[in-house]
Amino acid sequence: MALSFLVPPRHLYVHVPFCARRCSYCDFSIAVRRDVPVSDYINGIRRELALRGRPGDRTELDTLYLGGGTPSRLGGAGVAELLAAIREHAHWTDDAELTLEANPDDVTLENATRWREAGINRVSLGAQSFSPPALEWMRRTHDAGQIAAAVSHLREAGIAQLSLDLIFALPEDVPRDWGEDLERALALHPDHISLYGLTVEPHTPLGHWRDRGELTESPDTRYERDFLVAHSTLGDSGFEHYEVSSYALAGARARHNSSYWRHVPYAAVGPAAHRFDGARRSWNVAPYTEWLRRVRSGLDPTAGEEQLTPADLAEERTYIGLRTAEGLVLTEEITASTARWRDAGWAQIVNGRLQLTALGWLRLDALAADLTHAGSR
């Protein structure tokens, strides 16, 4: 086993922190660099993998996810070098899912070809919107035309699995037609779409704009309207709404992300990376420079960990179950505790499981807390 787990995880997340600039909504752990220190970063990943592994062991992976940040900033050769470094400590099955998060402006035919040759078979493309004013307001580095060009390059390179990210519930004064964004995304024929409602976090550009009175947040009614429009539009186009933020054509669910929702162990390396062994969660230091200093010195970059109690695990499984289309196995307690939800149209019983509807997903946090509280009485 290569990643210090009692049972070798079959899923690995690698955090690549580099970005050209911080988007207005972003509160992720990133490192803004004009010139990406590709070799230093990959050597750091190589050192962390060696630190967490045992000599001679190589973990078998079903999924590998390069997230960020902007992993596509590593370029074609950089991603290939990173995968080669990972292969020193792990190998993947023939049908493994290898995902790369990419920004449209990084996707050239040359880069996409190198990614495919290195093993990448799925790309999550950060489109976010097709509206020029919205992209500018978000401080994105690409324009609308580059989204279609990126998709074309990925298809030509032979990367068949494509997910598009879009953000909804923008403030009313940001020029953007949400329905048009959905239609333009569908016109590119992705097999997966991830949608994220805009939230204003304190230490982001949006948070600062709000504090200075320069931002009026979108009302809850806008959030609900956009969410339900997406649910209807994508459903009518053959997409299954299989997780609160995720839509997929048949056979195209995100296997790596689904491992999180199944509550199975997963490994993770890189700055700010979080890992889970089934009962314990730990995470690395967030700043890139501190992470690199530690791994270069042979020090464990872990910043903290938490041991989850049986009650913690049960609460997490309740939340995870409610956020997916599979829902929760029906019990007498769940049946009794959720009658009000079903009467309100927030949940339904299908094949012996409780599943939230789209209206229920809009109330996910409150409903999960309600059910957890009922179970603790």
DSSP code per residue over 289-329: HHHHHHHHTT---EEEEEEPPHHHHHHHHHHHHHHBTT-EE
Distances (CA, A) of 133 to 100, 104, 182, 308, 329: 27, 17, 16, 44, 45
pLDDT at residue 55 in the model? 55
Each residue's pLDDT expressed in tens, for the chain with a length of 377 residues:
234 445 578 999 999 999 999 999 998 889 999 999 999 999 999 999 999 886 556 789 999 999 999 999 999 999 999 999 999 999 999 999 999 999 999 999 999 999 999 999 999 999 999 999 999 999 999 999 999 999 999 999 999 999 999 999 999 999 999 999 999 999 999 999 999 999 999 989 999 999 999 998 889 999 999 999 999 999 999 999 999 999 999 999 999 999 999 999 999 999 999 999 999 999 999 999 999 999 999 999 999 999 999 999 999 999 999 999 999 999 998 999 899 999 999 999 999 999 999 999 999 999 999 888 765 55
pLDDT at residue 1 in the model? 29
Extended strands (E) in 120-235: 122-128, 161-168, 192-197
Q: Which of 257, 238, 197 lies closest to 63 in space, CA to CA?
A: 257
Query: What sign does the CA torsion over 11, 16, 17, 20 have?
Result: negative
The full set of domain ranges for the chain reads: 11-261, 310-376
pTM attached to this predicted model: 0.94
pLDDT at residue 2 in the model? 35
Contact call for residues 329 and 371 (beta carbons, < 8 A): no
Element (H, E) at 374: helix 364-376
pLDDT at residue 377 in the model? 53
Q: Which of 267, 129, 262, 115 lies closest to 185 in space, CA to CA?
A: 129
* Angle made by CA atoms 238, 242, 243, in degrees to the nearest 5: 135
Contact call for residues 59 and 93 (beta carbons, < 8 A): no
Residues 6+ apart with CB under 8 A from 296: 43, 44, 47
* Total length of the chain: 377
Contact call for residues 361 and 228 (beta carbons, < 8 A): no
Report the CATH number of the 11-261 domain. Answer: 3.20.20.70
Distances (CA, A) of 18 to 42, 141, 288: 12, 13, 9
* Separation of alpha carbons 83 and 94, rounded Å: 15
Determine the longest span between alpha carbons in the chain, in angstroms. Answer: 59
Contact call for residues 205 and 22 (beta carbons, < 8 A): yes
Strand partners, 349: 354
pLDDT at residue 315 in the model? 93
